[in-house]
Amino acid sequence: MALIALAADKGAPGVTTAAVALGAVWPRPVLVAECDLAGGDLVYRLPGEEGMLNPARGLLSLAATARKGLRPEQIGPHTQRLSGGLDVLVGVGNAEQAQGLTWLWSPLGRSFAIIPGIDVIADCGRLGAATPIVDLLREADMVVLLTHASLEHVAHLRERIAALAADLPKQRAQIGVVVVADPRGYRGSISEVERVIAQAKLPATVLGGLAFDPKGAAMLRGQWGGRLDKSLLIRSARELAGRMLARPVLEQHQSAAPFPTVTSTPVQPERAR
């Protein structure tokens, strides 16, 4: 249905935590795809439904079968399911592996964007100058940048929005901003970033915030006991997911068609309901 690409700039907050938290509460069928050029770490963070995730099954195995072209139905057999029910596509293990996949990002983005019946949240990690991942970003329905409200982070954010606006097709992708904020100044931090973007007349929209919640992030990784669904991280992720899906660019992507190569409709992790 829709492709949402999550990314950040230099020193910005954890994109992987945000992607998994959103995937855990996403109200439509969803696949979280690890597309970080620096290497992913889902296999070290989260348990699979049948034990440890297999690092060899994911982007690397998909790339090996897609040399002559990539179709959406080829993606399903290379996904894995986390304990609790969230489907993921495991990324490369390191930057060296990513260097051999520069050809993959554009066709992968096109396929992600048209998988029937499933939204894709792509964890694109930290962006840099002339990054090959921009080929995937060009295919996204929404590119979401994560930031803190500090002067340093907002300065990097302004530069990144301007660079992306020049790189992305104007008729397709929208740029959204999510503020990772301390709960003690949550609304104020979001408002401050909104003010900066409005004053600078940047082509981006502040979608909302995610609570900076280390304990909730640890629970998401299974490293801390407690009710994950009551954590500030998950509560803010649920609110953010609703705001994102209310945007016209995502709201229009509604389909009851299942992903033909997944054995059952993806469900959300039970702890985050």
Domains identified in the chain and CATH numbers = 3-254 (3.40.50.300)
Radius of gyration of the chain from its Cα atoms, rounded to whole angstroms: 17
pLDDT of residue 267: 32
Give the separation between CA 235 and CA 19, rounded to whole angstroms.
14
Residue ranges of the chain with pLDDT lower than 50?
A: 224, 256-273
- Residue closest to 161 by CA, chosen among 171, 151, 146: 146
pLDDT of residue 113: 94
DSSP 78: G
Give the separation between CA 151 and CA 173, rounded to whole angstroms.
26
pLDDT of residue 259: 45
pLDDT of residue 178: 97
pLDDT of residue 266: 34
pLDDT of residue 1: 86
Give the separation between CA 12 and CA 30, rounded to whole angstroms.
25
pLDDT of residue 45: 86
pLDDT of residue 112: 97
3-state class of 121 per DSSP?
A: strand
- List beta partners, residue 142: 4, 174
Q: What is the distance in angstroms between the CA of the first residue and the CA of the last residue of the chain?
A: 22
Give the separation between CA 25 and CA 28, rounded to whole angstroms.
9
Q: Are residues 34 and 16 in contact, defined by beta-carbon separation less than 8 angstroms?
A: yes
Give the separation between CA 218 and CA 224, rounded to whole angstroms.
6
pLDDT of residue 86: 93
